[in-house]
């Protein structure tokens, strides 16, 4: 009953947010609703027009300024353990995200345990396995002719890689994709009692898989990340922290990549001249296309920080316990930093790093792996299917924090063909 009351309270908050969005035209509320899911970038511009640091109706702050987002994310006076300061969780976070929800020293201790698996040396070892899996998936897709880019390619690839890295045997790609999407949807908050039940069931099933794996790896250690994590139990990690850490690494290990690949292909099909340029030089432009996608339409749209003490920034005083919502995707289209920021251009040259993977101590630990998977996927897709085209309408995830297509029907073609601009619909 406690869980049901909790879900009902959160659902009530969502209804109140909807009221603010439609009746009072609150831009932050609109980001949670259909307009924000379909095209959040117009809303980011509306927020940016209000200034670098804007006070929200709930008494917190929001920013779409690239320099200011970067400053807040790097400033140690801001943290993520908001519950200790305010008695309430960080906005949009209702599930245990292991070290993402922790400040130093706990964050440092747990992140240090996961970091070696994503080192440059490890990336070199993963490359061959990724290329092999990409080849297998595209071979099956080419035989099918028409396929869903997400379920047939973008999702199975990172799931295969991260479950192999963790040491999960006989991983069911469809099952993990479904559970990952469900848990990821909770980052927006629990929307209904049914949603709350689905999130808990998905988390419980993943925890059950890992609990059984822990039993196996305690008696039969292997060369995988779960075995290394278990070897550190009692010294670097507490027993209660094992499941949240492994769940985070699994879900974050493929949710970012599946949405990155989906957003990249979706953007390129919307801009056929860019797709043609990529197909003319896949090896030379695949990395640039992924970086431009990360800037233009990133998988993670926003994150929040809470002031651990009084901080003065952008001419405003942020009190202890107040949140600053950093709109990462809005910052990536800041016209003060990027010329013509709304234009998708894989030839773009800019010396300013985007914030798609956040910044500071919470910079995405899996960013090197996500980049490697996405670049190989896009390069190989352009090499093997230069005539790729849409075969149906795109359906996006029901989320304002995680952005990406949940269905992207495409038609495989081994050669380029003239494109009908009318079919390039977002």
Q: How many C-beta atoms surround the C-beta of residue 191 within 10 A?
A: 20
Instruction: Flag whether pLDDT at 144 surpasses 80.
Output: yes
In 3D space, the residue among 353, 248, 258 whose CA is nearest the CA of residue 299 turns out to be: 258
Give the model confidence (pLDDT) of 20-56 as tens digits: 444 456 888 888 888 888 899 999 999 999 999 999 9
Residue 218 sits in a domain of what CATH number? 1.10.630.10
Instruction: Flag whether pLDDT at 224 surpasses 50.
Output: yes
Give the model confidence (pLDDT) of 226-276 as tens digits: 999 999 998 889 999 999 999 888 888 888 899 999 999 999 999 999 999
Q: What is the mean pLDDT of residues 89-108?
A: 73
Residue listed under structure tokens 């964050």: 107
Residues 6+ apart with CB under 8 A from 76: 361
Beta strands in 93-183 (DSSP E): 146-148
Give the model confidence (pLDDT) of 145-187 as tens digits: 899 999 999 999 999 999 899 998 877 777 777 777 777 766 6
CA triple 79-83-88, angle to 5 deg: 125
Which pLDDT score is estimated for 273? 97
Q: What is the mean pLDDT of residues 114-140?
A: 92
When pLDDT is cut at 50, 70 and 90, the band that residue 5 belongs to is: very low
Which pLDDT score is estimated for 129? 92
Q: Is 370:154 a contact under the CB 8 Å cutoff?
A: no
Residue listed under structure tokens 């996500």: 370
Give the model confidence (pLDDT) of 350-378 as tens digits: 778 999 999 999 999 999 999 999 999 99
Residue listed under structure tokens 């709304």: 342
122 burial via Cβ count (<10 Å: 0-12, 13-18, 19+): middle
Instruction: Flag whether pLDDT at 349 surpasses 50.
Output: yes
In 3D space, the residue among 72, 28, 92, 121 whose CA is nearest the CA of residue 362 turns out to be: 72
When pLDDT is cut at 50, 70 and 90, the band that residue 415 belongs to is: low
DSSP 212: H
Which pLDDT score is estimated for 187? 67
Q: What is the mean pLDDT of residues 181-204?
A: 76
Task: Enumerate the β-bridge partners of residue 300.
Answer: 402
Which pLDDT score is estimated for 423? 42
Q: Which domain holds residue 73?
A: 2-423
- Average per-residue pLDDT for the chain: 86
What's the Cα-to-Cα distance from 43 to each of 97, 346, 372, rounded to whole Å?
A: 27, 24, 31
DSSP 300: B
Instruction: Flag whether pLDDT at 318 surpasses 70.
Output: yes
Residues 6+ apart with CB under 8 A from 183: 95, 199, 202, 203, 206, 247, 251
Which pLDDT score is estimated for 87? 53
Q: Is 285:271 a contact under the CB 8 Å cutoff?
A: no
Instruction: Flag whether pLDDT at 70 surpasses 90.
Output: yes
When pLDDT is cut at 50, 70 and 90, the band that residue 326 belongs to is: very high
Q: What is the mean pLDDT of residues 382-404?
A: 93
Residues 6+ apart with CB under 8 A from 18: 29, 32, 33
DSSP 232: T
Q: Which helix (H) or strand (E) holds 375?
A: helix 367-384
Q: Are strands 61-63 and 323-326 parallel, antiparallel or unpaired?
A: parallel
Q: Is 411 helix (H, G, I), strand (E, B) or coil?
A: strand
Model pTM score: 0.87
The domain total for the chain is 1
What's the Cα-to-Cα distance from 413 to each of 144, 146, 346, rounded to whole Å?
A: 11, 9, 22
When pLDDT is cut at 50, 70 and 90, the band that residue 76 belongs to is: very high
Instruction: Flag whether pLDDT at 88 surpasses 70.
Output: no
Range 1-10 contact pairs with CB under 8 angstroms and sequence separation of 24 or more: 3/196, 3/200, 4/193, 4/196, 6/190, 6/196, 7/190, 7/192, 7/193, 7/195, 7/196, 7/197, 8/193, 10/94, 10/189, 10/190, 10/191, 10/196
Q: What is the mean pLDDT of residues 110-119?
A: 91
Q: Are strands 54-55 and 61-63 parallel, antiparallel or unpaired?
A: antiparallel
> What is the C-alpha separation between 276 and 280, in angstroms, rounded?
6
Q: What is the mean pLDDT of residues 272-289?
A: 97
When pLDDT is cut at 50, 70 and 90, the band that residue 92 belongs to is: very low
Residues 6+ apart with CB under 8 A from 124: none
């Amino acid at each position: 009953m406690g869980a049901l009351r909790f879900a009902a309270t959160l659902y009530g908050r969502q209804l109140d947010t909807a009221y603010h969005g439609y009746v009072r035209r609150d831009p932050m509320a609109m980001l949670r609703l259909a307009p924000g899911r379909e095209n959040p970038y117009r809303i980011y511009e509306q927020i940016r027009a209000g200034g670098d640091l804007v006070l929200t109706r709930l008494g917190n702050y929001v920013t779409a300024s690239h320099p200011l987002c970067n400053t807040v994310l790097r400033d140690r006076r801001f943290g993520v353990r908001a519950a200790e300061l305010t008695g309430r969780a960080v906005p949009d976070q209702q599930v245990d995200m292991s070290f993402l929800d922790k400040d130093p020293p706990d964050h440092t201790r747990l992140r240090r345990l996961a970091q070696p698996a994503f080192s440059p040396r490890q990336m070199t070892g993963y490359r061959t396995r990724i290329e092999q899996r990409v080849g297998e998936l595209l071979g099956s897709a080419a035989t099918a002719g028409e396929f869903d880019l997400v379920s047939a390619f973008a999702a199975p690839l990172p799931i295969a890689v991260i479950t192999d890295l963790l040491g999960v045997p006989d991983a069911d790609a469809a099952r993990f994709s479904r559970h990952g999407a469900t848990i990821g949807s909770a980052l927006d908050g629990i929307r209904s009692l049914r949603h709350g039940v689905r999130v808990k069931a998905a988390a419980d099933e993943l925890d059950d898989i890992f609990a059984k794996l822990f039993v196996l790896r305690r008696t039969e250690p292997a060369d995988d990340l779960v075995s290394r994590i278990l070897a550190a139990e009692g010294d670097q990690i507490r027993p209660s922290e094992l499941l949240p850490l492994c769940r985070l690494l699994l879900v974050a290990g493929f949710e970012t990549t599946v949405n990155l690949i989906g957003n990249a292909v979706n953007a390129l099909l919307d801009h056929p001249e860019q797709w043609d340029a990529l197909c003319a030089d896949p090896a030379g432009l695949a990395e640039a296309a992924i970086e431009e996608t990360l800037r233009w339409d990133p998988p993670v749209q926003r994150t929040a920080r809470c002031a651990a003490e009084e901080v003065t920034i952008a001419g405003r005083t942020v009190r202890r316990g107040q949140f600053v919502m950093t709109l990462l995707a809005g910052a990536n289209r800041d016209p003060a930093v990027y010329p013509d920021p709304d234009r998708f251009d894989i030839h773009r040259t800019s010396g300013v790093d985007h914030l798609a993977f956040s910044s500071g101590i919470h910079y995405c630990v899996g960013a090197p792996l996500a980049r490697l998977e996405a670049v190989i996927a896009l390069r190989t897709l352009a090499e093997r299917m230069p005539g790729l085209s849409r075969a149906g309408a795109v359906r996006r995830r029901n989320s304002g924090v995680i952005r990406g297509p949940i269905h992207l029907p495409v038609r495989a073609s081994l050669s380029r063909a003239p494109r009908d601009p009318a079919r390039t619909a977002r």
